[in-house]
Amino acid sequence: MSELEALARALASDETIDIVTTGAKTGRRRTTEIWFRNLAGRIIICGTPSANGGAGPRSRRDWLANLIAHPEFEFCLKESVCKCLPARATVIRDVADRRAIMSAPQTAWYRNQGFSLDDLVTGSPIVEVRFIGGYAALNR
């Protein structure tokens, strides 16, 4: 099996990754463990409206601020394959796209946390990942 085939298989089955971002204010490298979802080949990082997963006001997420300030980051697989891939993040702002993402079977966990679909659509961080360089072939 080629490296790209192994990576594509990991992107289809794994959930937990590390992202290595550049700090929005400090410029320092920051590592955050986070989940990702594969929606028909689209790699999505999302979360709940509140950072702690519970009800309440939306909390700032440093990882999101970092990706907005510096969209290029490292997407580090660590379950079935250990490999850091160069990537670029794009915040999903289109309401219809956000609704489709948060309605997908792959994001059911977020809906099961007590948030309405409307709360998830308006308040959740949702970022699409595109791989760059030699790994662009992994993009749908």
Tens of pLDDT, residues 39-48 = 999 999 999 8
Residue 124: pLDDT band (50, 70, 90) is very high
Sequence-distant (6+) residues with CB within 8 A of 125 are 45, 46, 47, 61, 64, 91
Q: What confidence score (pLDDT) does residue 103 get?
A: 97
Q: What confidence score (pLDDT) does residue 1 get?
A: 84
Q: What confidence score (pLDDT) does residue 107 get?
A: 96
* Sheet (strand 16-22) strand order: 29-35, 16-22, 72-78, 82-91, 126-131, 42-46, 37-39
What is the radius of gyration, based on Cα positions, of the chain?
15
Helices (H), the chain: 3-13, 62-69, 95-103, 108-111, 117-123
Tokens 């990942």 belong to residue: 129
What's the mean per-residue pLDDT of the chain? 92
Return the structure tokens found at 82: 């250990």
Tens of pLDDT, residues 55-114 = 544 445 899 999 999 999 999 999 999 999 999 999 999 999 999 999 999 999 999 988
